[in-house]
Structure 1
Amino acid sequence: MTSIKNELVGTWKLLSYIEVPIEGDDSLFPMGKNPYGILMYSPDGYMAVQISKEGRMLYKSNDKMMATQEEMASSLQGYIAFSGKYKIDNNNAVVTYSIESSLFPNWKNQLQRRKIDFEGDILYLRSTEPILSNGVYVNSYMTWQRMDRSVDNFDDEHLLREISLKN
């Protein structure tokens, strides 16, 4: 039997993030319909995830500590980030996160669980317990794709990003 951890270790890019209210209301897209995210699982049992909403407000100042209230609200509400240890339950296909650091401080020292499913290089993660999001209890559904990155294409990607920002 292949260990789920062997399949999970690596870097994943977010394809979709949907929240489904447990009351049966319409699905929500808290990070918009085109969020950006990176999820990393290391072989030594640590993980980190960052998800950002498309079109977050830029700060007028280039000083990250000099944001307006509106800029800070846009930044915080449009970003999810946490890291910590993870453990795999192979029998139930569940990953448990022991959160050590989080942008949302209430998640620090908490456990979160995700049901795991794979389809080729696609990873599906579903929350196992509802979370409170914008005043509504929801289950989250995330679709990730394994990243096949090499150091060789780093400079090319950086140049392409700079060119697109200038245009």
Structure 2
Amino acid sequence: MTAEELRAALIGTWRLVSYEATSVRTGEIVRPYGDAPDGLIVYTPGGHVSVQVMRSDRTPFAGSALDEGRPEELAAAALGYIAYAGPFHVPDGQTVVHDVAVSLFPNWVSGAQRRTASVDGRTLRLGPAGRGVIGATRRDDVLTWERI
């Protein structure tokens, strides 16, 4: 697949099916957002991406307003959610780069999230362009999405 073909195949809205992170050393698989994560990723024709990933089992706040959440509620909500958006580009037929303009995780702002990407019919797989660390263990993470 060429870069142009991959870019065209990405355009649209995708719903998260699974998020698995495999230990490089032991092969152990963890699911950072639980067994049934939820999320959306949207690639626009104009070259922007928006990513939302969350645990589907997050506990609702005791109150009804976000700004009234107790510190432990706010912390738990943030730990079970990641969101970022910005421009994207496709340098080759196997890679997509998300240039982060805004993010729940402030350390990602003005950085890039580089992913391997493959589209097979209605399935998108985004994998590691480099290894990540989850719980002090180097892992290869793969997010599988379905076109909606």
TM-score computed with the length of structure 1 as normaliser: 0.82
- 1:71 equivalent to 2:73? Answer yes
Q: How does 1:9-88 map onto structure 2 within 5 Å?
A: 9-88=11-90
Indicate the SS of the match to 1:145.
strand
- 1:120 equivalent to 2:121? Answer yes
Aligned partners of 1:64, 1:132: CA distance in 2, in Å? 30
Indicate the SS of the match to 1:3.
helix
TM-superposed CA distance for 1:25, in Å, is 4.5
TM-superposed CA distance for 1:135, in Å, is 2.8
Aligned partners of 2:92, 2:147: CA distance in 1, in Å? 20
Could you tell me which residue of structure 2 aligns to residue 96 of structure 1?
97
Spell out, residue by residue over 1:79-103, the C-alpha distance to the aligned partner (whole angstroms, 9 max, x if none). Answer: 0111111000234x10011111110
Higher helix share: 1
Aligned length: 146
Aligned partners of 1:106, 1:139: CA distance in 2, in Å? 20
Higher strand share: 2
Can you give the 5+ residue segments of structure 2 that lack an aligned partner in the other structure?
none
Spell out, residue by residue over 1:17-54, the C-alpha distance to the aligned partner (whole angstroms, 9 max, x if none). Answer: 01122333511101001000100000111100001102
Indicate the SS of the match to 1:65.
helix
Can you give the 5+ residue segments of structure 1 that lack an aligned partner in the other structure?
148-167
2:6/2:119 contact within 8 Å kept: no
TM-superposed CA distance for 1:141, in Å, is 0.1
Over the aligned positions, Cα root-mean-square deviation in angstroms equals 1.4
Aligned partners of 1:58, 1:13: CA distance in 2, in Å? 22
Letter matched to residue 62 of structure 1: S
Aligned partners of 2:137, 2:84: CA distance in 1, in Å? 21
2:10/2:119 contact within 8 Å kept: no
**Larger RCO: Structure 1 or Structure 2 (Cα < 8 Å, ≥ 6 residues apart)?**
2
Could you tell me which residue of structure 2 aligns to residue 150 of structure 1?
none
Pair member with larger Rg? 1
Percent identical = 28
1:3/1:90 contact within 8 Å kept: no
Aligned partners of 1:66, 1:16: CA distance in 2, in Å? 32
Could you tell me which residue of structure 2 aligns to residue 106 of structure 1?
107
